[in-house]
Amino acid sequence: MDVKHEQEKELGYSTDDLEVLFRAVNKMHRRCLKKEMDSRGLGKVGQPTILFMLRNHDVAAECDQKGFSEALGVSPATVAVSIRRMERAGLVCKSTDPNDLRRNHLAITGKGLHLVNDCIHAFQHVDAGTFKGFSEEERKQLEGSYRRMIENLVAMGAQLPTFMKQEETT
């Protein structure tokens, strides 16, 4: 028995298993995305999801620090630190709600909007490379599989990402 098969027997799974391949693709995609973001000078964005949410005016109008923390699955303190950093970097600006002085409104700045657009281009670049050589039929099959996995995860109690909730309501 070769070394690979001995390791697989010891681990209790094969490196060819679908679940292992799924995790490998996910991890490799994240690494490629990080590399692309770093090459574009976007590596220190912190919580780019906040900027994406602020880009959507409807979400931005309703979301406060607590709303962002719930949507991101992180603590309000983590969101506060990210917002403070983004504010110092000129990506967002904060203003007090005239009707409720305890509440702050966040808005994305031109610089923040430019950064979001750069992030989108980075995502598109990595995604295009990921799906290179896939036929339209293969893409549709994969989409169907992902939609079923999402349904299964939701049935297990997972929450849809904010951007997918917005797609469903439109």
CB-CB contact of 106 with 54 (8 Å): yes
Write the CB contacts of 68 (distance below 8 Å, at least 6 apart in sequence).
50, 53, 79, 83
Residue-level pLDDT at 138: 97
Which tokens sit at 167? 């797609």
Residue-level pLDDT at 150: 94
CB-CB contact of 92 with 84 (8 Å): no
Residue-level pLDDT at 72: 77
Residue-level pLDDT at 170: 45
Phi, psi dihedral angles at 142 (to 5 degrees): -65, -40
Q: How far is CA 144 from CA 97, 150, 160, in A?
A: 43, 10, 16
Phi, psi dihedral angles at 101 (to 5 degrees): -65, -15
Residue-level pLDDT at 15: 64
Residue-level pLDDT at 102: 77
* Strand 100-108 with 92-97, pairing: antiparallel
Residue-level pLDDT at 51: 84
10-residue block means of pLDDT along the chain (170 residues)?
60 74 93 89 71 74 73 83 88 83 82 90 94 97 95 92 59
Model confidence, pTM? 0.69
Residue-level pLDDT at 126: 96
